[in-house]
Chain A
């Protein structure tokens, strides 16, 4: 039952491949030209970042057109001889059963200079003479090694599918698996995958397989790679430390990421430290730890790390009475969640601010502060003024919706 979801939900037909409509159309057009005659270029070179659907597109195509797919990838030897043996024959003769052949050279980037000597040269020659369609796949088509080969190929670019497209695919998989998933959670997985569909599906499987529900928090956890019990224990040992050494040791004895630990402390401190004076004192210690974090990142001097840790642990432990008010559960850092949740919105806001800034001769910061609040009200009040302004600022539909929506 443990088959990877990337295999289980691999597209069987072209229409199931998400995104890249333009590329799919061009490929179909090209394959149709193989109708008793040869197209101008007898090979396609599909290129683009990993996980954008290059290989699955070719496989789905062969399936749709009922062609026999002959594949070679990096795990095969690709010396001149091997390539000649593999493709030389297939490119000249039809199959036994009269099916048409489609030849695929995948992972071209993996052809290495020494081990696969001459392989590229032979591929280049075969591409010119082939009587069967050949499709080549590479991440970086503009690598100088491909310069000769490139001339004999039609280049087709694969672009990263959008966050929304990936999230929609993940939602489909969840519903087939019977998992109830929060849409925010799927959006976050899609966001982190950054256009790599394979990575997104793998992440989804790792997080959701065997579960009934997938929440935003489940996904937010993935970022830290730290385990709950370890963090809770560390927090308890810092907040309620018996001594300075105790607090310091708590940080030294865990492998919790320090920046993440700071976020955990920041989130939970006010639920434990209730006295106003103590709250101010402990928050100041945390702020000092943060100051050192800033200094480390500007100077890149890691010897400052000890102060970062001192303030975060001993500083906090000694700045309050450490009396427990009964059991207080630890919470996941809500700041991290809000930041992930609002990432897309902030990107839109930033883009709008820049456009307004350019038009009104002000900085993006000032636009966000002085213009956008008013613009929101105008957009909600007056559709005619809204449309005029949107055109004048050059705002797209997403931006207009963003400004028009009531919070």
Chain B
């Protein structure tokens, strides 16, 4: 996968986020790091920075001193109690006296697990340093935030993304047109992972990569999309919209919260009265909360779709 093939290995290879990289380099020099929070949107290099930091600190065999956990896969308190503790309390062998634990998508941890984590971080500071990675640092509890050095990652500037696309295209011997590059940047939306995935998918056609190739592969990659489901509901066909929802959940294995996130970002772009956008937003928020409480994803999202049907009918009537 090109996202991995072209993932920077050392801090020097990272092309952006200069300020952050400089601070991390000073940690390497001092052979010491504090607990850290890397926060920022997806595809901006948080995990890469953490891995590069570990590489520069321990050398090529850094894997032995590092543990990566993804909180979305194992978000319960038991993971903290068992896996994290076991890792954290044993001493690392070598010139750096501590190990690094990368906890990805830490903002998806339950608050119970975060509380347990806080104690672990304190207790084993000598033997383990934590790097928490999150989209929103606000979802990480205050006591943990206060124990960590915060780093804010931002979307890469267009120029940097363009350079990266051109670099990979050159390495892979691809033919790519200017409008092709523009289309990839547009679809990537500042997320470098997504950008490179789009590039690799376009390359798999074997054709020169122009605007048309890019849009056609992206169209094929998202046959059942959230926007389409919303429009179907607004048009009054609840049962068809419900079937599309079921496809997204069962066939494509999307999480209910992910679908909700996409609905949220699409609503403002819909061509409906502003008043309705806000009304719908309130229901989206409520649905999100219900999902967190363990309600059924399809039934809750269907109720939301029924609201879209109602909104569509009222808008048509001109109210």
Q: Give the interface of A toward B (CB within 8 A).
A: 262, 266, 270-271, 276-277, 279-280, 283-284, 286-287, 290-291, 293-295, 297-298, 335, 338-339, 342, 345-346, 349-350, 353-354, 357, 359-366, 368-374, 376-378, 381-382, 385, 389, 392-393, 407
Q: Check A277/B293 contact, CB under 8 A, given A363-B73, A377-B217.
A: no
**Among A279, A284, A363, A378, contact of B200 (Cβ-Cβ < 8 Å):** A378
Query: In the complex the two chains form, what is the Cα distance from A172 to B173 in whole Å?
Result: 54
Query: In the complex the two chains form, what is the Cα distance from A287 to B298 in whole Å?
Result: 10
Interfacial chain B residues near A345, Cβ < 8 Å: 250-251
Which A residue sits closest to B290, measured CB to CB? A291
B293 touches A294 (CB 8 A): yes
16 A-B interface contacts by CB (under 8 A): A270-B306, A271-B239, A276-B312, A284-B306, A287-B290, A293-B296, A298-B293, A338-B246, A345-B250, A361-B68, A363-B108, A365-B258, A374-B197, A374-B217, A382-B204, A385-B200
A287 touches B303 (CB 8 A): yes
B309 touches A363 (CB 8 A): no
Q: Check A276/B295 contact, CB under 8 A, given A283-B302, A338-B246, A359-B1.
A: no
Q: Does B194 reach chain A (CB closer than 8 Å)? A: yes
Least Cβ distance of B255 to chain A in Å? 5
Least Cβ distance of A161 to chain B in Å? 26
Least Cβ distance of A389 to chain B in Å? 6
Least Cβ distance of A286 to chain B in Å? 6
Query: In the complex the two chains form, what is the Cα distance from A335 to B239 in whole Å?
Result: 12
**Among B72, B238, B306, B314, contact of A366 (Cβ-Cβ < 8 Å):** B72
Q: Check A290/B253 contact, CB under 8 A, given A283-B302, A363-B104, A382-B206.
A: no
Query: In the complex the two chains form, what is the Cα distance from A206 to B59 in whole Å?
Result: 65
Interface residue tally on B, bucketed by range: 35 or more
Q: Does B223 reach chain A (CB closer than 8 Å)? A: yes
Interfacial chain B residues near A376, Cβ < 8 Å: 221
Q: Give the interface of B toward A (CB within 8 A).
A: 1, 3-4, 42, 47, 51, 68, 70-73, 104-105, 108, 193-194, 197-198, 200-201, 204-206, 217, 220-223, 236, 238-239, 242, 246, 250-255, 258, 290, 293-296, 298-300, 302-303, 306-307, 309-310, 312-314
A280 touches B296 (CB 8 A): no
B1 touches A364 (CB 8 A): no
B303 touches A286 (CB 8 A): yes
Q: Check A290/B72 contact, CB under 8 A, given A374-B201, A377-B220, A381-B206.
A: no
Which B residue sits closest to A285, measured CB to CB? B303
Least Cβ distance of A10 to chain B in Å? 38
Besides the known contacts A290-B300, A378-B200, 6 further A-B residue pairs in the complex with CB atoms under 8 A apart: A276-B309, A279-B309, A291-B290, A294-B293, A361-B104, A374-B217
Least Cβ distance of B59 to chain A in Å? 20
B3 touches A360 (CB 8 A): yes
B250 touches A346 (CB 8 A): yes
Least Cβ distance of A290 to chain B in Å? 5
B194 touches A339 (CB 8 A): no
Across chains A and B, the number of contacting residue pairs, with CB separation under 8 Å, is 156
B221 touches A335 (CB 8 A): no
Which B residue sits closest to A373, measured CB to CB? B221
B104 touches A298 (CB 8 A): no
A349 touches B253 (CB 8 A): yes
Query: In the complex the two chains form, what is the Cα distance from A262 to B70 in whole Å?
Result: 34
Least Cβ distance of A330 to chain B in Å? 15
Which B residue sits closest to A277, measured CB to CB? B310
Query: In the complex the two chains form, what is the Cα distance from A113 to B287 in whole Å?
Result: 57
A361 touches B51 (CB 8 A): yes
A280 touches B251 (CB 8 A): no
Interfacial chain A residues near B255, Cβ < 8 Å: 365, 368-369
Query: In the complex the two chains form, what is the Cα distance from A51 to B251 in whole Å?
Result: 32
Which A residue sits closest to B48, measured CB to CB? A361
Interfacial chain B residues near A279, Cβ < 8 Å: 238, 306, 309-310
Which B residue sits closest to A297, measured CB to CB? B294
Which A residue sits closest to B217, measured CB to CB? A377
Q: Check A368/B205 contact, CB under 8 A, given A291-B290, A360-B3, A361-B104.
A: no
A385 touches B295 (CB 8 A): no
Interfacial chain B residues near A349, Cβ < 8 Å: 252-253
Interfacial chain B residues near A342, Cβ < 8 Å: 250-251
Query: In the complex the two chains form, what is the Cα distance from A351 to B217 in whole Å?
Result: 25
Least Cβ distance of B168 to chain A in Å? 14
Which B residue sits closest to A349, measured CB to CB? B253
Which A residue sits closest to B237, measured CB to CB? A270
Interfacial chain A residues near B299, Cβ < 8 Å: 262, 266, 286-287, 290
Query: In the complex the two chains form, what is the Cα distance from A279 to B42 in whole Å?
Result: 37
A354 touches B73 (CB 8 A): yes
Query: In the complex the two chains form, what is the Cα distance from A353 to B197 in whole Å?
Result: 15
Interfacial chain B residues near A284, Cβ < 8 Å: 303, 306-307
